[in-house]
Amino acid sequence: MAEALVSGVVEQLTAVAGKGIQQKVRLVVGVDEEVKKLSSNLEAIQAVLVDAEARQVTETAVGRWLDQLKQASYDIEDVLDEWNYAILKQKLEGVEDATGPKKKVCFFFPSYCFSFKQVSLRNDIAIKIKEVNENLDVITKQKERYSFNTITKVEKPKHVQTTSFIDVSEEMSGQDVCKSILIDKLCASTEQRLPIISLIGMGGIGKTTLAQFAYNHDKVINSFDERIWVCVSEPFDEHRIAKAIIESLEGSTINLIELQSLHKCISTSIQRKKFLLVLDDVWSEDYKKMEPLYRCLNDGLEGSKILITTRNEPVAKKMGSNDIINVQGLSDDESWLLFKRIAFFDRPLEECERLEEIGKKISNKCKGLPLAAKTLGSLLRFKKSWEEWKLVLDSELWKLKEIKEEVFRPLLLSYNDLPCMIKRCFVYCAIFPKDYEINRDELIKLWMAQGYVKEEEEEDKAVEIVGEEYFDYLTSRSLFQEFKKDDENNVIGCKMHDLVHDFAQFLCKNECLHMEVGGNKEPIINSCNHGKACHVMTTIYGENLFSNSIFSLRRMRTLLCYCNYHEGILPPNMLSKVFGELTCLRALTIRRGLQRIGRIEEIPKEVGKLMHLRYLNLSGLGMRKLPEALCGLYNLQTLDISWCPKLEELPQRMEKLINLRHLQNWGTWALRYIPIGIQRLSNLRTLKCFVVSGSNDEKTCSLEGLKYLNLFGELSINKLGNVSDVEEVKRLEIKNRKSLIDLGLDFEKNVDVRERRNEEDEALLEILQPSLNLEKLGIWSYRGNTILPNWMMSLTKLRHLTLYGCSNCKHLPPLGELLSLEFLVINSMQSLKSVSNEFLRKENDGISSSSVFFPKLKRIEFWFMFEWEEWDYEITRVGEEEEVITIMTSLVYLKIQYCPKLKALPKHLVQNTRLKKDIYACPMLRYP
């Protein structure tokens, strides 16, 4: 990790120094010599890092030296970032200081005219460069005592090889006999009042996955009224566990704080219910902490059970288990089957035969641990030669006695083989708690904020694409699991195996940590163990609770603060303190649950002090506007203000956010306009919602202004009902936005705008012709009588279509001819009474003896169609024969809700035996 950090610092030094010279931004006399010296020291250290990182596991002193180096590197990064900020400030504001009046002193030469504050800032940066240089001098000299092997030339990081991953989660669940025994014990009747079953699996055996298998088994589901899963891990927190149980049963903890009140609530919630409670990954042997919980759980119905998973048999015994099931490791044959399935995937047969013997020897080193077999298989999948496999077999890491967990050895082999820039990405994931569902897009943006992911200009790859490749690379190495996918089978989230998480924590040495604040206790950050924490995630479970010990971490670079959905509330003065004191932050999240929106109503102007900030997530807050000071965050890449429904106004000077790439503002329904400065942000790739203001005010961005942006992916244009100049819409030429594949068109309007005629919306929809690359289209609040612009049928790549609130449309368009359509949602079309042949094709289309409609449609939904009565198709004749119509042959899911007058389904849906139907609030509908 230090190797990647120092390499990044060297790159940053070269870039910033070069930019300073190019733009004639000088600091003070002598700083050039300090920069040269700094560069020389870094290069000397860089040459020994490969050997140093290999030795840090076994040599404590080397580890301490690397820790010193990392802290020094962070300091250098901060100073260089300040230098870069000064360059950006001069570029954007000249010699003026945005925070105060301009004070100048002019010498005899007109070209030398500086503000006092600018001179002060430059001297401050120069002094800091000298200080970090002196510190690095000491570290450079210290390296001599360790006799490191020197690499005279640092190789350029190898290109990341992306490949599909193999999901083998089924093999991680343990032996089939354990599955059968566990399910039988969970479902069997017993005389004990509340039986406790313990599932014991040592590191990497897969006890949690086996428990999940049983938890989701049909036989188990049908046996219990309630199933509750709590990830315990260490330390054992009675308050958090009690709250998690209540949330599973009731949906919220109703602001309960006292443990006795929580237990009383549990007791009330489970009365007259048969439940299964899974306490996953229990470490504590303190039965006294569990006893009050057991007592309140005794009020459930007979047949209720508790399942504990743990790595230690003493824990199972102390917890009062009635049954203990030891999950055995894989046999050598089972381990080999799992290993070779991954390692030999898509490999030529002759190559597999040549590597089989050595592969079995490597597989035997897994000692029956499925995670080890999976990790090593994923590592060797990328090794082509026998010699590379032999290096893995003979690695000194197998002999390490310093590593407590057996599975850490294969994980360390896999980690050491990662490209250096991806190592930092992996270790960063230790910031999340165990069992946390990591959002792929958010994780990539956090990597970007820390500088772990950079553009590859030689291959013309945007930084986001590089980040996606890094994520896929870690996935292919089996370092992520339990993937969450969207409707199109794209991975959008994942989790980390508990032991992989432990391994990441082992590597980061307390630089990344997660804290929970709630109950009666506030966690204290121990200055010895956690004083060097750089990346912190904290979850708040109570009202006005926040760990003040966080403010001791002045070098913190990430703070992710999540308020629990039902009860987490931040103190009103907390934001000012965070912005004012944690000024080294690169990434900051202050996020609320939707149920408690509105308690944070103002973002303090101190946010402008966070000059290093790249990622700012304020989603779910209740502010009405953002301060102008936010526009001083010149380094900002991502601003997430999603689901801030009270937000009316963005800052006026947004053109100063020259590095902004993602403005995520979905769900900002009160937003009145987009500032005109947005159209000058040449780096902007994401603008979730553009609001048509309906005003010619000089501070608002017109719809035409969108043509200056090179947006990618998704865009929703809101308040199209405010459009007064159709010519302006024509000049937008949205059909030329070929990088937009997801377009939303919302025809809602402001209250003070005159009511539009139906034909005006029809003409406007015709003008808004998208690119032929469009894959997703949504149309909302459309007032036209028909939804059939001339361009609709030309969208040959369209896969998703949503029609919402098109209240004047009496007929559906001929969507059956959109041959690529896979997902269709029709909602709130109040004039629609019948669906017939017009839904399949245009009236003037020729009739053949055989026709196929909606060939790729997988999912169709109808919502709130209060006047809809009939859904059927007329059979036409071709000569003497009836036309053969084939409809929706790929359909697997049908949802119909709140359609009270619909009487029957068409024959092709009734006859579809594999179709999953979700029908609700349709009292007249009769179906098999």
Query: What's the pLDDT score for residue 21?
Result: 55
Which of 88-92, 251-255, 300-304, 395-399 shows the lowest per-residue confidence on average (mean pLDDT)? Answer: 251-255
Model confidence pLDDT, tens digit, residues 315-325: 888 888 889 99
Single-letter residue type at 140: T
> Cα–Cα distance between 454 and 4 in angstroms, integer?
12
* One domain, residues 217 and 136: no
Q: Give the structural domain span for 857.
A: 810-928
Which of 122-126, 218-222, 462-466 shows the lowest per-residue confidence on average (mean pLDDT)? Answer: 122-126
> Cα–Cα distance between 720 and 701 in angstroms, integer?
14
Across the range 637-649, mean pLDDT stands at 95
626 found inside a domain: no
Confidence category of residue 212, pLDDT binned at 50, 70, 90: confident
Asked which of 283, 307, 326 is the last residue of a domain, the reply is 326
Model confidence pLDDT, tens digit, residues 400-409: 877 777 889 9
| Residue 810 scores a pLDDT above 80 | yes
Query: What's the pLDDT score for residue 288?
Result: 79
Model confidence pLDDT, tens digit, residues 324-351: 998 888 888 889 999 999 999 989 999 9
* One domain, residues 410 and 379: yes
Query: What's the pLDDT score for residue 153?
Result: 46
Query: What's the pLDDT score for residue 279?
Result: 93
* One domain, residues 483 and 336: yes
Half-sphere exposure of residue 498, counting CA atoms within 13 Å on the CB side? Answer: 22
Model confidence pLDDT, tens digit, residues 260-286: 888 999 999 998 899 999 999 888 777
Query: What's the pLDDT score for residue 797?
Result: 96
| pLDDT > 70 in the chain, percent | 86
DSSP conformational letter for 258? S
Confidence category of residue 519, pLDDT binned at 50, 70, 90: low
Residue at token pair 């994401």: 686
* One domain, residues 140 and 189: no
Confidence category of residue 239, pLDDT binned at 50, 70, 90: confident
535 found inside a domain: no
Single-letter residue type at 438: I
| Residue 113 scores a pLDDT above 60 | no
Which of 20-24, 30-34, 289-293, 582-586 shows the lowest per-residue confidence on average (mean pLDDT)? Answer: 20-24
| Residue 244 scores a pLDDT above 50 | yes
* Coil, strand or helix at 97: coil
Asked which of 98, 127, 146 is the last residue of a domain, the reply is 146
* One domain, residues 11 and 136: yes
| Residue 846 scores a pLDDT above 70 | no
Model confidence pLDDT, tens digit, residues 645-701: 999 999 999 999 999 999 999 999 999 999 999 999 999 999 999 999 878 788 999
661 found inside a domain: no
Query: What's the pLDDT score for residue 107?
Result: 32
* One domain, residues 311 and 340: no
Higher pLDDT, 243 or 829: 829
Across the range 590-599, mean pLDDT stands at 59
* One domain, residues 303 and 213: yes
Task: State the total domains in the chain.
Answer: 5
* One domain, residues 359 and 494: yes
Model confidence pLDDT, tens digit, residues 524-558: 454 445 567 899 998 876 666 677 778 888 889 99
* One domain, residues 16 and 89: yes
> Cα–Cα distance between 806 and 823 in angstroms, integer?
18
826 found inside a domain: yes
Query: What's the pLDDT score for residue 23?
Result: 52
Query: What's the pLDDT score for residue 115?
Result: 43
| pLDDT > 90 in the chain, percent | 48
CA distances from residue 227 to 183, 210, 213 in whole angstroms, order as listed? 14, 16, 13
Query: What's the pLDDT score for residue 108?
Result: 31
Model confidence pLDDT, tens digit, residues 737-779: 899 999 999 999 887 777 777 888 999 999 999 999 999 999 9
CATH number (domain holding residue 267)? 3.40.50.300
* One domain, residues 767 and 828: no
Q: Which of 710, 593, 579 is nearest to 643 (CA)?
A: 593
Across the range 234-258, mean pLDDT stands at 78
| Residue 599 scores a pLDDT above 60 | yes
Model confidence pLDDT, tens digit, residues 162-198: 556 666 554 444 466 788 888 888 988 877 778 999 9
Query: Is-contact 350 177, C-beta < 8 A?
Result: no
Query: What's the pLDDT score for residue 154?
Result: 43
Query: What's the pLDDT score for residue 529?
Result: 52
Q: Which of 407, 403, 415 is nearest to 365 (CA)?
A: 407
Query: What's the pLDDT score for residue 251?
Result: 73
Residues with Cβ within 8 Å of 779's Cβ and at least 6 positions away in sequence, in order, are 744, 745, 747, 765, 787, 802, 803, 804, 806
Across the range 136-159, mean pLDDT stands at 74
Chain-wide mean pLDDT for the chain?
85
* One domain, residues 180 and 199: yes
Across the range 421-437, mean pLDDT stands at 93
| Residue 722 scores a pLDDT above 80 | yes
710 found inside a domain: yes
DSSP conformational letter for 364? H
629 found inside a domain: no
Model confidence pLDDT, tens digit, residues 348-393: 999 999 999 999 999 999 988 888 999 999 999 989 899 999 999 9
Query: What's the pLDDT score for residue 390?
Result: 95
| Residue 127 scores a pLDDT above 80 | yes
486 found inside a domain: yes
Across the range 729-733, mean pLDDT stands at 87
Angle at 535 between CA 233 and CA 451, to 5 degrees: 130
Q: pTM here?
A: 0.88
Write out the two tokens for 184: 């039988």
783 found inside a domain: no
853 DSSP β-pair partners: 887
Query: Is-contact 285 315, C-beta < 8 A?
Result: yes
Across the range 581-602, mean pLDDT stands at 77
Highest mean pLDDT among 31-35, 51-55, 478-482, 694-698: 478-482
Which of 27-41, 725-739, 897-911 shows the lowest per-residue confidence on average (mean pLDDT)? Answer: 27-41
DSSP conformational letter for 840? T
Query: Is-contact 748 722, C-beta < 8 A?
Result: no
Asked which of 479, 508, 537 is the last residue of a domain, the reply is 508
Across the range 213-219, mean pLDDT stands at 90
* One domain, residues 371 and 504: yes
Model confidence pLDDT, tens digit, residues 459-513: 788 999 999 999 999 999 999 988 999 877 889 999 998 889 999 999 988 899 8
Write out the two tokens for 791: 């361009």
